[in-house]
Structure 1
Amino acid sequence: MTEHVLVFGVGYDIPARMRAFGETAGQKVTTSVLCWPEHLAKMDDTEEHSRIVVLSPEASDEEWIAMARAVDAVEPVTRIGSFYDDCRPQAALVAQVLGLDTHTPEIVELVMNKYAMRRRLAETGVEATASAVVESPAQLRSFAEAHGYPCVVKPLTGAASKGVSIVAGAAEAESALERASGTGADPRATVEEFLVGAQYSVEAFSERGEHVVVTVTRKYSDPVSLVELGHVMPAPLEPAQTEAVTRHVVATLEALGVEFGPTHTEVILTERGPRVIETHLRTGGDELWNMVTDATGVDLIESQLQQVLGEKVLPGIRATLDDPERTRRSEAIWFAGAPDRGTLVEVSGAEAGRPAAVTLNVLGTPGTELNGLQNSFSRLAWARAHAGTAEEAVALAREAIDGLAFLTRVPAAHGELL
């Protein structure tokens, strides 16, 4: 039987890996894509897809359904591939219309809408974190008066720390709302109580409503923008703490109705116990999917694509995690932030010698306009390292980043003259 996978949004190398898996298994796998224009630049295998249909980000649900039906009429679609946040609501809707499996529209809304997630977790007794949807500075200030400063303002939906602010006082309400609403068409934002504690993320995999935590990661964020600057796995936690985080995340996934696939859940370990920041129906970014493979032996991407093609993968994941002979090591990544303003002229120090356990990748290029640490895409470089302990791995990665120098050009100030 030929499997025809309709991929929504950017798939990076996953469609190619799906086709390769099919060939190895003696099964033909073809792929078609429905995406936005911006996704074309992120495809390395455009000629390998059977067809690519590009829609405007403003296209209606009816247009997505019509295009999917047209593809299905030419080559019947047997599977839906939705691997990242972009176009996930459209994938859920099309799957429902075509009678195929993927996350339902209801689950996608619960996960992507931060306030809806908070309500569901409260309704099911998982946790009660104060939150509200606001449209005006007055509403934000009213929330803060009831729950206290600081509070966190973020877009109603979103990722990569885009539009997120910590509001320390009433005077910052207007700018925080402007920052949150500037990431999309929806003028509303979510405001939440500020949770105090160390930050972690949890990579898990689900199958038929059963959830397995693959690893817990300690993450480090900028205190102003909340953009992530570092990760290390496995997190240096006491066994009881790891168990508490694991239980809380599994309860969260059950409350949200997640049935399958990878999830990336961010939590804060507060004095009251673990509290969820947000969760995603995908692997974590920031190289985490590769770090998981190197630290645990579990390839989350391979597991996901095989599951999409109908394979049962959870037994294999469990077997890998339980294997007493598998290599265990700590994996860390650290990022370079960005100056508040200027133009990047040169990056030096990248060619310096470093240990074999360290990999460096410079992201910023000469000519890049700098505007501080606005979101995850503002960062200028990353370094990955592995070692026997979390502390050693973090130290190696940070040392590599500290060895870089960024030369910038800042124009002379032209203020008012007397």
Structure 2
Amino acid sequence: MTRSSNGPLPVLLVVYGRGAATALGILTTARRRCTVVFFGDLGDPEVAADLARLPETTPVVDTAGLTREQVCARAQALRPAGVVTFKDSLLRTAAAIAERCGLRFHDPATVEALVDKHSQRAALAAAGVQATICRRIRSAVDLRPALAATGVPAVLKPCSGAGSVNTCLVHDAEELEDRYAEFTTDSSVRGDYVLEEYLVGDTTVVGEFWGDYVSVESLVEDGRIHTTAITGKLPLAFPFRETGYFIPALLPDGLAQSVVRLEQQALRALGIRHGVTHTEIKFTPQGPRLIEVNGRLGGHVADILNRVAGVDLLGLAIGLALGDPDFPQALPRPGSREGGVAFQYFLSPPFDGLAPGGAGLVDDLYRIPGVDLVDARIDPSWRADWRAGTERLVGTVYGSADDFAGLRATVEALQQRMKTFWR
């Protein structure tokens, strides 16, 4: 959708929750392109805090206590040109708004396969893309039959979740029952869980220093898939917490094409016609296998891609929602190693029960070659908790390197310094 130079700015509805893009980042990126109206539950302290930081003139609709029908009615009255969300749990609401207002977005049926891990596995298997043993857990009586199907080890996680919250490996029936009871008692994560077969990684593909999985970032426009990047990963911290990303990924010749081919098969199998996707793929002895497909921007990815390739993925996502994606003439070739490497390294503890050390860490990290920015808040009362997932960390290091050898040297220096930080 292209407006005239004298016409009003189109309205973009952002169904907001703390996720892959910040409220201020969205507003800054959309400036002079559209009028952003945030739909957010101000009863959520995190959402309220984020939206309170915006300029007072920013339109905000408080959705606290509203039914989905009421939210859609409020949205329709604004005559929006587009709708977008950057949080998995809000995809259903964004899809309902899009359907009511006649906007392009993931359709409701596709959203179900994107937010429900059991449904997604079933859809991928039905399409012949990948069969992964997965059982839905509605109550404790489902645990042992599920484990009999998956075998051990197996992965227990919320059916609709993100960021590795309440996600762990189980090795027997007793451990499974204990973890399930722990996760479903006084937990912020409600609803069904799933038990999946564990995809054994192959560290020989990229080497043991690097993570044995990647993510693929794409924008889908009327069924046309525009793949923008393959994101490399550092090895996971216990049990499945991410520790850092880098672009481009370090892949052997030909593997990037195989990864993108699998990703595109998955997107088509799930019926994705319009929207942003973030697909995780693991390297196994049987070849690349799908971990999951997400119907939103990947967390942290937009910053890294912008720094290494000058591609504004958040801006493209906003443009796609408005019907005017303004794709660059040449997107970076996925897996391309031209132009150096950019990364984010997460200041995350190796395991549970640890406390942070002194605030001098920040100055120490700035002395490491390749470190450009350290965003950390050292709170002595903070304690590690793996159940809270990837986002339970004290900060993030942003940096760059000329090549993968330089990236490895920087990451090794960061890892060495962090060994003496946690106590």
Larger RCO, structure (CA 8 Å, separation 6 or more): 2
Corresponding residue of 1:130: 133
1:308 CA displacement: 2.2
| Structure 1 range deviating more: 103-112 or 149-158 | 103-112
- CA distance, structure 2, for counterparts of residue 333 and residue 398 of structure 1: 13
Q: 1:185 to 1:312 in 2, by over 3 A?
A: closer
- CA distance, structure 1, for counterparts of residue 142 and residue 122 of structure 2: 18
Corresponding residue of 2:353: 341
Which residue identity is paired with 2:54? D
Write out per-residue CA displacement over residues 253-288 of structure 1, whole angstroms, 9 at most, x where no aligned residue.
111122233311111111222211112122221x32
Corresponding residue of 1:416: none
Corresponding residue of 1:81: 84
Would you say how many aligned residue pairs link Structure 1 and Structure 2? 391
Corresponding residue of 1:60: 67
Corresponding residue of 1:229: 243
1:5 CA displacement: 1.8
Other structure's SS at 1:262 match: strand
Write out per-residue CA displacement over residues 161-214 of structure 1, whole angstroms, 9 at most, x where no aligned residue.
11111111111112322355434331x201100001121111122222111222
Which residue identity is paired with 2:397? A
CA contact (8 A) 1:162 1:183 kept: no
Corresponding residue of 1:303: 316
- After the TM superposition, which residues 136-151 of structure 1 pair with which residues of structure 2 at under 5 Å, given as runs? 136-151=139-154
- After the TM superposition, which residues 30-45 of structure 1 pair with which residues of structure 2 at under 5 Å, given as runs? 30-37=35-42, 38=44, 39-43=47-51, 44-45=53-54
CA contact (8 A) 1:348 1:406 kept: no
Corresponding residue of 2:363: 351
1:301 CA displacement: 0.8
Which residue identity is paired with 1:289? A
1:400 CA displacement: 2.9
- CA distance, structure 2, for counterparts of residue 330 and residue 144 of structure 1: 41
Structure 1 position 366 matched with structure 2 position 371: no
Structure 1 position 328 matched with structure 2 position 332: no
CA contact (8 A) 1:334 1:394 kept: no
1:288 aligns with one of 301, 320, 338: 301
Structure 1 position 115 matched with structure 2 position 118: yes
Structure 1 position 266 matched with structure 2 position 266: no
Across the aligned residues of Structure 1 and Structure 2, the Cα RMSD in angstroms comes to 2.6
Which residue identity is paired with 1:41? A
1:65 CA displacement: 2.5
1:199 aligns with one of 194, 213, 224: 213
Corresponding residue of 1:26: none
Which residue identity is paired with 1:291? I
Structure 1 position 165 matched with structure 2 position 176: no
CA contact (8 A) 1:180 1:189 kept: no
CA contact (8 A) 2:356 2:382 kept: yes
- CA distance, structure 2, for counterparts of residue 217 and residue 383 of structure 1: 17
Other structure's SS at 1:146 match: helix
Q: Specify every segment of 5 or more residues in structure 2 that has no aligned partner in the other structure, as ranges.
A: 1-6, 202-211
The runs of at least 4 aligned residues of structure 1 exceeding 6 Å deviation read none
2:399 aligns with one of 370, 377, 385: 385
> What percentage of residue pairs aligned between the two structures are identical?
25
- CA distance, structure 1, for counterparts of residue 118 and residue 416 of structure 2: 38
| Structure 1 range deviating more: 175-184 or 289-298 | 175-184
Q: 1:62 to 1:179 in 2, by over 3 A?
A: farther
1:9 CA displacement: 1.1
CA contact (8 A) 2:231 2:245 kept: yes
Q: 1:87 to 1:46 in 2, by over 3 A?
A: farther
CA contact (8 A) 2:26 2:314 kept: no
TM-score by length of 2: 0.84
CA contact (8 A) 1:341 1:369 kept: no
Corresponding residue of 1:412: none
- After the TM superposition, which residues 179-190 of structure 1 pair with which residues of structure 2 at under 5 Å, given as runs? 179-181=182-184, 182-186=187-191, 188-190=192-194
Which residue identity is paired with 2:197? E
